[in-house]
A and B are shown apart, each in its own frame.
Chain A
Amino acid sequence: MKSLALGASLLAIASAVNAAELGAVDEPIKLAINEWTGQHVSTYIAGGMLEAAGYKVEYVTAGYMNMYQAMAEGEIHGAMEIWESNVSEQFGQLAAEGKVVELSDLGLEAREGIAYPAHVADICPGLPAWEALKDCAMQFATAETIPMGRLVDYPADWGTPGADRATALELPLKAVPAGSEGALITEIRASTEKKSPLLITFWQPHWAMSAYDLQWVALPAGEAACYEDASWGPNPNATSDCDFLPARIFKAGWPGIEDKWPAAFEILTNYKLSTEDQQPMMGAVDVDGNPVEEVVAEWMAANEAAWKPVVDAAIQ
């Protein structure tokens, strides 16, 4: 649990920032809306800040995996929540060519790991300690994985972090890749309804963490050394025998923003959002069913101190 002091929402790094020109205020700045709610929250707050500065903002729905070509061509100007752990190769290529540009970290504290719904602790009593999985792996076995336990992994195009860990930690688990995020959520939901065993590679902030009461398996703490030095960690012969390194979540955009809308560039670069602020808003949207625009507008009205300084520093 984070202390309340750390929960102080948006951090304005206003010190080193100078006021900038507004630029082409008549042309809308296009922000990408991807497929998940947390991203919608992050994007609408950024949009609200730009509007407060006097810009027009247009929200464009875009597939997360293949929006970067459009960004390189200036058809999308900014994407507010890109996960380093799950970014398409195209982004790397275009960024290296200077056709898209990173705009600093968003400030969300992401965590990835191997998770299980709370009821699974009854099935495998040693949890959350990872060593418990050595003995109760068979509890997680299914027709496809026998004689090993089953670990649901990320979709194949996000990489195979679950499988890597199971191998490195010498756990008798076989990783089964999901096909999509929908498939991951459905697994969690089905397991909760049926009270059946489940181990799944997952991440937060995500609304499902609280909605389904997911717990993390306590793996050996993740350190950079673990990924470089095989002798580090419980398995002396393998790297990645530890927890995930914290994933970076950042903003990126079209390189032309800096010239076309200088103040907007400053705002987007300095914009920060904390997990503690984002999570309740996600809940208000996904669990209570409120429209994301309203939830964000309410939050912005009530927490002006959290974002106004960034806008003011850029335009005054």
Chain B
Amino acid sequence: MPQNSETKSLPWGLTPGAFAAWAAALLGLACILLTPVFPWLVKWPAALTLPMTDWIGSVVGWFLSVLKPAARLFSAGLGYPMLWANWLLTATPWPLVIGVVTAIGWYLGGLRMAALGLGGLSFVLASGYWIESMNTLALVAVSVPLALMAGLSIGILAYEFPRVKKPVQGLLDVMQTVPTFAYLTPLLFLFGFGPVVGLIASAIYAAPPMARNVLLGLERVEDDIKDAAVMSGGTRRQQLFLIEIPAAATQIMVGVNQCLMAALSMVIIAAVIGGFNDIGWEVLLTMRKAQFGQSFLAGLVIVVFAMVIDRMSGALAMERRRYDLRVIGLLMAVALLFTLLMGSSLPNPSDYAAFDPTAAVVDRALGDFTAEYGLALDQLKNTILFYVMLPLRIGLDNAVLPFTWGFMWTPAMSMIFLAVAATGGVALFLTGRRVAGAVLLLLAVTVETGVAELPWAFVIGGAGLVGWVSGGRKLALFAASMLALILVSGLWDRALLSLYLSGVSVLACTAVGGATGLLCAVSPAAWRVVRPICDMLQTIPLFVFLIPVLMFFQIGEFSAFLAICAYAVVPMIRYTRHGLINTPEEMLEAAVSSGATGWQIMREVRAPYAVPTILLGLNQTILYAFSMLVIAALIGTTGLGQSIYLALGKGDVGLGLGAGAAMAILALVADRLVQGFAEEKRRALGL
């Protein structure tokens, strides 16, 4: 919320929210009415477009050629540990690898973890993807220590020098929001061809969560511990490494866990470059043939790895009891004995194919389903396209046609529509619902023109106003100037298309995910069903889902929309449920003792209290939706995602980085706006 000095000067005693909403709505209305006279309000004149992608290309190109020798040395150096890890994992007989993982499981979490390790790796073995999986594991085994070290140093740096904290956090945001495909070309140029590039890409993506958790952990070390460290003497370095970092160990371990998961999720990206016969390559090959069953199976192998690694490294972050070390000895002895006894008759792990029949059945079932329900699916798609997606994209004035809605939209109808909306808005304003009135008008303006054809002045001005409400003048300036950068770069049209697609998806995710989260908060049984689905959606390579979505709904926006939703809905579900069930006991008791019923408690106590958490979920959903845009481009969407692929194919560094940066800007602006509101709500609730 802006400072008091700003609010005081507002006319008619408007709250900042109502003021900004009305200002934006009137700006939008003015833009629409003036567009016929001044067409440059919608279309930014080409003469004022700066060739920014070319500039980026030449500046970065120069930098790259300067850095190249050093980078090549680095990548040659990394090649060795990669080779060793690979050799160690593939040359070791598989019973030994399974034995070691089971033993680690026992050490970390007793029988349950041991069973998880044994079961998980047995699944991998039986699937026939053992060699590919070990190659993948080798990649993760080298990239994760790299990311951990980078993350630890960045975190300590930001903690020790508060002045660099802000820029460092900005850098971490950029590392996580610029899509990897956008910088693959420069990475290939710098580090040469092969698995090392995939390794570095995954380290870049996996380091930020580690850095964030290190910083958070160090900041949370209690003052008396720090004081004790100061009083016992010792240099600053000793205090840091001997006292403060160990004290922050639990939080740092959370970072390790997140880092591992992020590295694993990048496996598929490494496969796009190639140079490595890993499980991601297998997913790509089967996806190319549209074999859903087989690519799902290969995807499941990655899910199993993610589960084993997640649970085991998660155990690291918790206090745990000691388990009998003799069991480890026993496990190792059994594995060794088994290997020696089998000797050369040990079956080749690639010969297993236990699930191939299942995969074929799944594949067949997908085909049959498509054949059986094809018409119904088409109808569903058409309904949503005609009545929701097309109007939002190109506006009522273009989407309402005789063969979609049954009649033709005329300019007169536009005028009537806007006039009715304006009257409604004013009526709401006069009856006291001031913000609601403006929102009605805003929606009307957006639906009438369509997101892809919104006047730029309205988008930039609106974002600035929302920023002002959410975080004051600074945020307003940030949001408006960042978007203006996209405008003059010439990527504006594509950015609006991306904004539209991710916007529709976020809307749908908010509705569906919020409802599902609510259901899961009320019913533990529902959560038991939903939770594993959420886990799977988050770890399986998303490429796998493109096949069924395409089979059902063909190439087009609707398929892309569904693919994005499948991934982005998860945080909304998780955070909504989490927020709703974690209401402090004393608040609940007070409500119960005043005689509130179950639903009243939900509406009056739990829901308001959960708002900051739900907003955080919304924030994550937005970021996820943007990160899926690139994958959705494989279906055949236009917008920034497609530009990134085009740039990758052409080896155009400037276009790739420019489009990647534009996408990161959209994501970051949305992120900052939502976080501003969440922060304000939290303060209002006294959290």
Do B649 and A187 touch across chains, with their CB atoms under 8 A apart? no
Identify which of B374, B546, B551 contacts A189 (C-beta below 8 A).
B551
Q: Does A18 contact B (CB under 8 A)?
A: no
- With A and B bound together, what is the CA distance between A70 and B277 in angstroms? 17
CA distance A190 to B366 in the complex (A): 10
Complex-state Cα separation, A176 to B370, whole angstroms:
21
Separation of A238 and B54 alpha carbons in the complex (Å): 33
Residue numbers in B under 8 Å from A286 (CB-CB)? 289
Contact of A73 among B192, B634, B649 (CB under 8 A): B192
The answer, yes or no, to whether B635 is at the interface (CB within 8 Å) is yes
CB-CB under 8 A for A182 and B290, given A35-B285, A75-B193? yes
State the CA gap A177–B635 with chains docked (Å).
9
Chain B residues 427-445 with CB under 8 Å of chain A are none
Judging by beta carbons under 8 Å apart, are A183 and B551 in contact? no
Question: Does A143 lie at the interface of the complex (its beta carbon under 8 Å from any beta carbon of B)?
Answer: yes
* A67 contact set on B, CB distance < 8 A: 193, 274
- Which residues of chain B are within 8 angstroms of A306 by Cβ–Cβ distance? none
Which A residue sits closest to B371, measured CB to CB?
A: A193
Q: Is A231 an interface residue (CB 8 A)?
A: no
Interface residues of A in 79-112 (CB under 8 A from B): 88-90, 93
Q: Verify A88–B192 contact, CB threshold 8 A.
A: no
CB-nearest residue of chain A to B350 = A291
- Out of B192, B285, B381, name the residue touching A70 (CB < 8 Å): B192
Q: Is A181 an interface residue (CB 8 A)?
A: yes
Q: Of the candidates B185, B550, B642, which one forms a contact with A156 in the assembled complex, judged by CB atoms under 8 Å apart?
A: B642
* CB atoms of B650 and A157 under 8 A apart: yes
**Contacts known (A69-B189, A144-B557, A146-B404); A189 close to B367, Cβ less than 8 A:** yes
Question: Does A237 sit at the interface, judged by CB under 8 A?
Answer: no
Cross-interface CB contact of B273 among A66, A68, A152, cutoff 8 Å: A66
A299 on interface, CB distance cutoff 8 Å: no
Contact partner of A60 among B275, B556, B632, CB < 8 A? Answer: B275
Does A76 have its Cβ within 8 Å of any Cβ on chain B? yes
In chain A, positions 178-197 with a C-beta closer than 8 Å to chain B are: 178-183, 185-190, 193-196
Min distance, Cβ A108 to any Cβ of chain B, angstroms: 19
With A63-B272, A189-B290: A183-B645 Cβ-Cβ less than 8 Å: no
> For the complex, is A155 an interface residue (Cβ under 8 Å from B)?
yes
With a cutoff of 8 Å between Cβ atoms, the chain B residues found around residue A75 in the complex are 192-194
Could you tell me if B385 and A76 are in contact, using CB atoms closer than 8 angstroms? no
Interface centre among A62, A68, A180 (most CB of B within 10 A): A180
Q: Is the Cβ of A69 less than 8 Å from the Cβ of B193?
A: yes
B313 CB, nearest partner CB in chain A, Å: 29
In the complex, the chain B residue whose C-beta lies closest to that of A190 is B551
Minimal Cβ-Cβ distance residue in A for B287: A182
In whole angstroms, how far apart are the Cα atoms of A60 and B554 in the complex? 33
Cα separation A60 to B189 with both chains bound (whole Å): 18
User: Which B116-163 residues have C-beta < 8 A from chain A?
Assistant: none
B484 contacts chain A at the CB level, 8 A cutoff: no
* Selected contact of A144 from candidates B184, B189, B543, B556, CB within 8 Å: B556
Check A181–B385 contact: CB distance below 8 A: no
Q: Are B188 and A36 in contact (CB under 8 A)?
A: no
A-contact bits for B619-653, CB 8 A (1 contact / 0 none): 00000000000001111110000100110111110
A145-187, CB < 8 A from B? 146-147, 152, 155-157, 176-183, 185-187
> In the complex, are the beta carbons of B550 and A187 less than 8 A apart?
yes
A142 interface residue (CB < 8 Å to B):
yes
Counting CB contacts under 8 A, is B522 at the interface?
A: no
A137 to B: closest C-beta gap in Å: 14
Contact B651 A90 (CB under 8 A): yes
A185 in contact with B290 given A61-B276, A143-B382, A190-B551 (CB within 8 Å): yes
Given contacts A63-B274, A75-B194, A183-B546, contact A35 B554 (CB under 8 A): no
Are the C-beta atoms of B288 and A179 separated by less than 8 Å?
no
Q: How far is the CB of A208 from chain B (nearest CB, A)?
A: 8
> In the complex, A179 Cα to B288 Cα: how many Å?
11
Chain A 108-136 interface 0/1 with B at a Cβ cutoff of 8 Å (1 = within): 00000000000000000000000000000
| B506 CB within 8 Å of chain A | no
Given A66-B184, A73-B193, A157-B650, the answer on whether A61 and B371 have CB atoms closer than 8 Å is: no
| Cα-based distance from A181 to B550 in the complex (angstroms) | 12
From B273, B290, B633, name the one whose CB has the most chain A CB atoms within 10 angstroms: B290
Q: Does B508 contact A (CB under 8 A)?
A: no
Question: B547 near A157 (CB under 8 angstroms)?
Answer: no
**Which residues of chain B from 250 to 289 have any CB-CB distance to chain A below 8 Å in the complex?**
272-277, 281, 284-285, 287-289
Does B403 count as interface, using CB distance less than 8 angstroms?
A: yes
Task: Say how far B496's CB is from chain A's closest CB, in angstroms.
Answer: 18
A177 to B557, CA, bound (A): 11
Q: Is the CB of B188 within 8 A of A66?
A: yes
A65 at the B interface (CB under 8 A): yes
Is B661 close to A, CB under 8 A?
A: no
List B residues 366-388 near A (Cβ within 8 Å).
367-368, 370-371, 374, 381-382, 385-386
Digit string of A282-306 for contact with B (CB within 8 Å is 1, else 0)? 0000100000000000000000000
Shortest A133–chain B CB gap in Å is 19
Nearest-neighbor residue (CB-CB) of B369 within chain A: A193
Cβ of B555 within 8 Å of any chain A Cβ, yes or no, is: yes
A190 B403 Cβ-Cβ under 8 A: no
Q: Which chain A residue lies CB-closest to B363?
A: A189
Q: In the docked arrangement, what's the CA distance between A253 and B182, Å?
A: 27
Residues from chain A with Cβ under 8 Å of B650 in the complex:
88-90, 157
> Closest Cβ of chain A: how far from B683's Cβ, in Å?
44
**B75 → chain A, closest Cβ, in Å?**
11
Give which listed residue, A33, A63, A187, A193, contacts B555 with CB less than 8 A: A187
Residue in A69, A90, A182, A188 whose beta carbon sits within 8 Å of that of B546 in the complex:
A182
Given A35-B284, A69-B193, A194-B370, are A177 and B636 neighbors across the interface (CB < 8 Å)?
A: yes
**Given A62-B274, A194-B370, are A186 and B193 also a contact pair (CB < 8 Å)?**
no
In the complex, which of the residues A177, A182, A186 has the most CB atoms of chain B within 10 Å of its own CB atom? A186
B544 vs chain A, min Cβ distance (A): 11
17 extra A-B contacts, CB within 8 A, seeds A69-B188, A179-B637, A183-B546:
A60-B194, A66-B185, A70-B194, A75-B192, A75-B193, A76-B193, A88-B649, A143-B386, A143-B390, A144-B385, A144-B557, A155-B645, A182-B546, A186-B546, A186-B551, A193-B371, A193-B374
Seen from chain A, the residues whose Cβ lies within 8 Å of a Cβ on chain B are 33, 35-36, 60-63, 65-70, 73, 75-76, 88-90, 93, 142-144, 146-147, 152, 155-157, 176-183, 185-190, 193-196, 286
Q: Which 6 A-B residue pairs are closest in the complex by CB-CB distance? A: A70-B193, A157-B649, A194-B374, A179-B636, A90-B651, A186-B550
8 residue pairs A–B, Cβ–Cβ below 8 Å: A67-B193, A70-B188, A70-B193, A73-B192, A90-B651, A144-B557, A155-B636, A179-B642
Residues of B within 8 A of A (CB): 184-185, 188-189, 192-194, 272-277, 281, 284-285, 287-290, 367-368, 370-371, 374, 381-382, 385-386, 390, 401, 403-404, 543, 546-547, 550-552, 554-557, 632-637, 642, 645-646, 648-652
